[in-house]
Amino acid sequence: PGPERKNSRQRFVVSLSACLFDFVIQLLPTADEMAVKEDVRKLLERLIRTIEPDSRLLSFGSTANGFSLRNSDMDLCCLIDSDERLSAADLVTMLGDLLERETKFHVKPLPHARIPIVKLSLDPSPGLPLGIACDIGFENRLALENTRLLMCYAMIDPTRVRTMVLFLKVWSKRRKINSPYQGTLSSYGYVLLVIYFLVHVKNPPVLPNLQQMPPLRPISKEDTHVGGHNTWFFDDIELLRQRWGSSNMETVAELLIDFFRYYARDFSYNTGVASIRAGLLKKESKGWQNDLTGGRYHDARERNRLCIEDPFETDFNVARCVTKDGLYTIRGEFMRASRILATRPERAIVALAQLCE
Ligand code: GTP
Ligand code: MG
């Protein structure tokens, strides 16, 4: 490209990066909101302990991994440190009754769901203009670990990683492609797509692969396995920050433009599996693709249109809810975003507004 075009591109990405930071900062939760949520967690923990004295209530998901937006829901996990405990289904039912009696929450116990949870919500009030939505699950230790993994990735390069993830969360919500119940992808799925891209697609990589780094000291199997799954990853972030300097100096805007282009055009949706643990895998090698249509294979195929391997539960496709139509819509949105950013409107702020229309 001639020097004129190169300059105009440079101006565009610099200004788009600045706009992205400003945009995302406005959407971060306030200190007040964080404090109210912590109070709610403590209150709920106190109540749960009247049923299970040896329990702890821990926060996971976006409130705990640094990727939360204003008014995002609270994901809570109850761990019980005693051997004799009630089943998750019984706990859900009992806790549901208790919360109904003792609090102002709207309570919906789901004891028979794949993962039994209690759903809670609080109506908006003057002190809490947007209300609160909260799910409480039990013994979901893998979710606590994957939350910690995402948090570590965020901490290695907070500016670029958090800005990209938070922007994509807003974008996917505004474009209505963030709803597993309607055949599109969960927030967790989008975060994994971003990390996969920064670890395995970008060259030089923006992030190291925390699950493949050599441990500092020998580790035993008991220390690293949760429910039969290897959850070890390099988590000494202080050390990493000293040692890991990525030689990739691209701005957030350049990374975002590339992200959209990659998922619009280059990712092999038909045969590929995005794995942050192991890079690009084949559906075949995981038994996630069957060429036979109909019969008992039909279901497997329908579930594996888009394949994203969970970092620890490696036989689990995080994107299993994405339908054929859902994937078509998501890819269409990646293409649309790519197109908008390629035309480089005069002002970056206009591009952002258009992206999230
Ligand atoms: P928002 O609620 O939109 O702010 O996003 P979030 O980051 O909280 O993501 P989401 O609510 O989709 O998921 C919350 C947490 O649940 C994630 O951080 C994971 O720990 C866990 N989780 C969600 N979906 C899955 C899944 O399909 N598999 C596994 N193993 N864990 C999941
Ligand atoms: Mg959440």
Structure tokens at 273: 């599996």
pLDDT reported for residue 245: 85
ipTM of the modeled complex: 0.94
Residues 85 and 195 in one domain: no
Residues 182 and 69 in one domain: no
Residues 343 and 254 in one domain: yes
- Cβ(61) to ligand 1 under 6 A? yes
Residues 72 and 203 in one domain: no
Whether 322 is in a domain gets the answer: yes
Report the distance separating Cα 154 and Cα 241, nearest Å: 12
Whether 148 is in a domain gets the answer: no
State the average pLDDT for the chain. 91
Residues 127 and 59 in one domain: yes
Residue 290 has pLDDT above 90, yes or no: no
Whether 299 is in a domain gets the answer: yes
- Looking at all shown ligands, the one closest to residue 309's CA atom is 1
Nearest CA to ligand 1 atom 20: 143
Q: What are phi and psi of 315, to 5 degrees?
A: -95, 15
When pLDDT is cut at 50, 70 and 90, the band that residue 1 belongs to is: low
Task: Return the percentage of the chain with pLDDT > 70, whole number.
Answer: 96
- Looking at all shown ligands, the one closest to residue 27's CA atom is 1
Report the distance separating Cα 148 and Cα 161, nearest Å: 15
pLDDT reported for residue 230: 94
Whether 283 is in a domain gets the answer: yes
Q: Does the global pTM surpass 0.90?
A: yes
Tell me the best of 75, 184, 322 to mutate to test the pocket of ligand 1, counting ligand atoms within 8 Å of each CB and taking the most: 75
Which helix (H) or strand (E) segment is 28 a member of? none
Residues 167 and 120 in one domain: no
Report CA(199)–ligand 1 centroid distance (Å).
20
Report the distance separating Cα 247 and Cα 256, nearest Å: 18
Residue 338 has pLDDT above 90, yes or no: yes
Report the distance separating Cα 272 and Cα 265, nearest Å: 13
Whether 188 is in a domain gets the answer: yes
The number of folded domains in the chain is 2
Residues 174 and 134 in one domain: no
Contact 319, 263 (CB under 8 A): no
- Looking at all shown ligands, the one closest to residue 58's CA atom is 1
**Nearest Cα to 44, choosing from 122, 143, 141?**
122
pLDDT digits (tens, 9 = 90+) for 61-90: 999 999 999 989 999 999 998 888 788 899
Burial class (CB in 10 A: 0-12, 13-18, 19+), 235: middle
Whether 236 is in a domain gets the answer: no
Nearest CA to ligand 1 atom 27: 318
Domain termination site, one of 116, 143, 170: 143
Residues 192 and 323 in one domain: yes
Domain span at 36: 31-143
Report the distance separating Cα 39 and Cα 88, nearest Å: 24
pLDDT reported for residue 115: 86
pLDDT digits (tens, 9 = 90+) for 260-275: 999 999 999 999 999 9
Find how far residue 352's CA is from the centre of its chain: 22
Residue 20 has pLDDT above 60, yes or no: yes
Residues 267 and 307 in one domain: yes
pLDDT reported for residue 281: 98
Whether 24 is in a domain gets the answer: no
Residues 186 and 325 in one domain: yes
CATH of the domain at 87: 3.30.460.10
**Nearest Cα to 167, choosing from 344, 9, 351, 331?**
351
Location of structure tokens 């990727």: 67
Report CA(8)–ligand 2 centroid distance (Å).
39
Mean pLDDT of 30-34: 90
Whether 62 is in a domain gets the answer: yes
Residues 173 and 70 in one domain: no
Residues 131 and 263 in one domain: no
CATH of the domain at 253: 1.10.1410.10
Tell me the best of 186, 312, 315, 317 to mutate to test the pocket of ligand 1, counting ligand atoms within 8 Å of each CB and taking the most: 186
Which helix (H) or strand (E) segment is 197 a member of? none
- Cβ(313) to ligand 1 under 6 A? yes
Tell me the best of 188, 226, 310 to mutate to test the pocket of ligand 1, counting ligand atoms within 8 Å of each CB and taking the most: 188
Residue 221 has pLDDT above 90, yes or no: no
pLDDT reported for residue 277: 98
